[in-house]
Chains A and B, each alone.
Chain A
């Protein structure tokens, strides 16, 4: 029951955090003239000629505080401006590209965790053995690898040389067949929608395209959990309750599974925030290299086209996701560790 109160309290912090984020974004916007800011809302050439009308409509030349209130108001009504790089309203772009990124991330995160945690545990249990050295080498190398470089190498090798796992999201034939056969988009994620529509070929095709970007994300993101899991397992394995558990007669792997891993997991949660931030960075770059039509590629495109509305809209969205994920992590932490007071 105290947990419920804690969750509610943390939920209330969400708007506060978003308020802070909005202040920063607003501050960036204020560095432009009203005319420049008006361009963010322009949707057509006619509107371009009537720039003053736009300035008046969105109150872009009034005192900052008034502007801020109107700005927040229009955001809450879903109007984030018009993205020149995507050729659609920003909010629509976010909605359109979000499922693709979600699909990518849904595949990448379990891969990351399984890879990182398993090898971290193994490296600690078989300390100073070959696998320990491989893990230590891998985690520091992967931490030094540029995401875009590993993406390029993977693409060149698997697609270029072996012809497997093409870039993009769906192959052209499958994509065409979607509009013909009346494919219903339930979630926007092709792997799931393919199953729901009874079109396994769509699911498999989507999987085929999303594997390489997920792998890229997973390999690089797993470096941090691998090393943290290893060091935290090493610390836990030296604790007295592990020896005591073995003194009770528990087998080595039962002790590791029941006592060591659970305790070692806790420091991992504290770096979850860093992992999520790294993931966002990785998504932007990976989607760009693999030409994967998700939010990351949209953000990169917006940045290079100097699409202010687009990049700021993305920043707002990414920060929201980041804040929500941090909230989930905090709650998880409270759930797992009975010692912390909330």
Chain B
């Protein structure tokens, strides 16, 4: 039975087979199922955000509704189910729309770093020689500076704001994918089927597009998916420091940064404002955990020794 279906898929090419096998392995691992469920759950929230937390008309939906001017956060009430932050921003609203922000940040950054990394890495790997040397030296330079430090410097250069944070992370993040792509391209370059393609007269561009890229991209994409969690974590850290979204924006890191003055609560009630940091924090934690569980499962599957047991 398994033999028949597998021969059907075989005709669709090795890449499809690899993907199918990967998904089968994903389904077999309980941790990755948990990871996928978490991500799926958050995706649903993101899509249903306007329903779960209706935006106020005429306002940018990403700005949390504001119920007053008092700096002191208010506890959960009928109006604000999970309470408000400093400045009376609705925490529930912020957390729900924050899911969209998180997805947006993670996905945009990942796509950006992937595109740049893949292009540069392929060029370096395929053409080799001087071009490769130069590109490698450039990535070395980027590697020499710890990523958050460079990201902070770039944000200072470009100005504060979530979009600039995303740009900064893309600038800081592409070298990793470039390197990986280059290694894969170099490995594939020497495989026999490339020789064969060249022997029948395929142009370089055609070889790159049709043979090299599809096979080399696979591990790079897997690595990127493993990294989305870290991207969101870094972005929330930068927001927390005040370099990302402005106050009032639905961004979990920015919301927690609003709670900094209220961590110690009131005299006699140190946990008075627990909701200002605990709830957004839990969102960040579970969101990143989901991606990391998934990424872990991917990593286990990529390990060739474990993959084909």
A residues adjacent to B (C-beta < 8 A)? 17-18, 20-21, 23-25, 28, 31-32, 140-141, 143-149, 152-153, 155-156, 159-161, 276-277, 280-281, 284-285, 288-289, 299-300, 302-304, 306-308, 311-312, 314-315, 318-319, 322-323
Which of A20, A31, A311, A319 makes the CB contact (< 8 A) with B152?
A311
Provide the bound-state CA to CA distance between A153 and B259, in Å: 12
Instruction: Report whether A280 and B146 are in contact in the complex, using a CB–CB cutoff of 8 Å.
Output: yes
Provide the bound-state CA to CA distance between A32 and B154, in Å: 12
B residues adjacent to A (C-beta < 8 A)? 137, 140-142, 144-150, 152-157, 160, 229, 233-234, 236-237, 240-243, 253, 256-257, 259-260, 263-265, 270-271, 274, 277-278, 281, 284-285, 288-289, 292-293, 296
B residues in contact with A159, CB < 8 Å: 264
Provide the bound-state CA to CA distance between A323 and B65, in Å: 47
Give the dominant DSSP class at B's interface.
helix
Q: How far is the CB of B243 from chain A (nearest CB, A)?
A: 6
Assuming the contacts A140-B293, A285-B237, A303-B243, asked whether A149 and B281 have C-beta atoms less than 8 A apart, the reply is yes
Instruction: Report whether B145 and A28 are in contact in the complex, using a CB–CB cutoff of 8 Å.
Output: no
Closest-by-CB residue of B relative to A235 is B305
Q: How many A-B residue pairs have CB under 8 A?
A: 145
Provide the bound-state CA to CA distance between A84 and B156, in Å: 14
Closest 8 CB pairs of A and B: A160-B270, A20-B141, A149-B281, A144-B289, A144-B288, A281-B148, A304-B242, A280-B146
Assuming the contacts A159-B264, A160-B265, A300-B241, asked whether A319 and B146 have C-beta atoms less than 8 A apart, the reply is yes
Assuming the contacts A144-B285, A304-B243, asked whether A149 and B149 have C-beta atoms less than 8 A apart, the reply is no
Q: How far is the CB of B170 from chain A (nearest CB, A)?
A: 15
Instruction: Report whether B256 and A152 are in contact in the complex, using a CB–CB cutoff of 8 Å.
Output: yes
A residues in contact with B155, CB < 8 Å: 303
Assuming the contacts A21-B141, A24-B141, A140-B293, asked whether A160 and B148 have C-beta atoms less than 8 A apart, the reply is no
Provide the bound-state CA to CA distance between A213 and B298, in Å: 33
Which of A21, A148, A149, A284 makes the CB contact (< 8 A) with B148?
A284
Which of A21, A144, A288, A312 makes the CB contact (< 8 A) with B292?
A144
Given contacts A20-B144, A144-B288, A146-B281, 9 further A-B contacts (CB under 8 A): A17-B144, A20-B137, A24-B145, A143-B292, A149-B285, A152-B256, A153-B277, A281-B147, A285-B241
Which of A277, A281, A323 has its CB near the most chain B CB atoms (within 10 A)? A281
Instruction: Report whether A153 and B264 are in contact in the complex, using a CB–CB cutoff of 8 Å.
Output: no
B residues in contact with A143, CB < 8 Å: 292
B residues in contact with A141, CB < 8 Å: 285, 289
Assuming the contacts A148-B237, A322-B144, asked whether A156 and B270 have C-beta atoms less than 8 A apart, the reply is yes
Instruction: Report whether A31 and B157 are in contact in the complex, using a CB–CB cutoff of 8 Å.
Output: yes
Instruction: Report whether B144 and A155 are in contact in the complex, using a CB–CB cutoff of 8 Å.
Output: no
Which of B146, B237, B241 makes the CB contact (< 8 A) with A318?
B146
Provide the bound-state CA to CA distance between A156 and B269, in Å: 11
